[in-house]
Amino acid sequence: MNKISIKDLNLYYGNGANHALHGINLDIPARQVTALIGPSGCGKSTLLRCLNRMNDLIEGVKIDGLVTLDEQDIYQNVDVASLRIKVGMVFQKANPFPMSIYDNIAYGLRAQGVTDKKTLNEVVERSLRSAALWDEVKDRLKSPAFGLSGGQQQRLCIARTIAMEPDVILMDEPTSALDPIATKKIEDLIQTLKQKYTIVIVTHSMQQARRISDRTAFFLMGDLVEHNNTNILFSTPADDRTRGYVNGDFG
């Protein structure tokens, strides 16, 4: 079952001057990890931002085609704020709010009018447990989030996303700034989270895509060159355009 379907998607920057995505067709299965790979500037992060309409924030962007979430066109008659709750995003660099660990998790709920202390406590604990962070921070929930390590901050941002109960989690190179130990923790977490959430991740690391993804989509210069089950894509690249890339990481 597909959670997201993309049909004939084109994206232009600069009021049509720069054609960044060229007729993309891609299905994203529910409760699997789909990796978007390719060299810098190939369009993978641009596509990721189409899935929760973050590109709407960029002046001069034009999009045509169809993107559906649970068969609903996300560009027609959709409340964007509600969409971004259903389709949460974790960025390349951890971006905790300048407040306590607890308040980082509770922030979104409070913004929606939730004030019941018991409810907030339950969501904070559940979200931190889901992000494999509870045991490390349960005794310092009122401490500033900036006091956490880089890897812990990224898991906190994942917990903050989980607290809003999304259907989909988008991740834009979430481990690129982390050391190998912290990266391993995030990768293990992704494998656990896919049991409940649909995950789409942009990564420059071919090894990471092989380790964590069920399906992989390869982009080059705004084109979707191929997409397939990860083990198939890496063992039998479609043609010489991909063969030189899948043997190593992208710069």
DSSP 195: T
pLDDT in tens, 93-143: 999 999 999 999 999 999 999 999 999 999 999 999 999 999 999 999 999
Q: Is the pLDDT of residue 250 over 80?
A: no
Q: In angstroms, how far is the first alpha carbon of the chain from the final one?
A: 33
Q: Is the pLDDT of residue 248 over 70?
A: no
- What pTM does this model have? 0.92
Residue 240's pLDDT band, with cuts at 50, 70 and 90, is very low
In contact, 198 and 31? CB cutoff 8 Å: yes
pLDDT in tens, 2-37: 999 999 999 999 887 899 999 999 999 999 999 999
What structural domains and CATH numbers belong to the chain? Answer: 2-246 (3.40.50.300)
153 contacts: CB under 8 Å, gap ≥ 6? 94, 96, 145, 146
Sign of CA dihedral 194, 200, 202, 208: positive
Q: What are phi and psi of 162, to 5 degrees?
A: -60, -35
Please name the helix (run of DSSP H) or strand (run of DSSP E) that holds residue 145, with its range, or none. none
Sign of CA dihedral 73, 76, 77, 81: positive
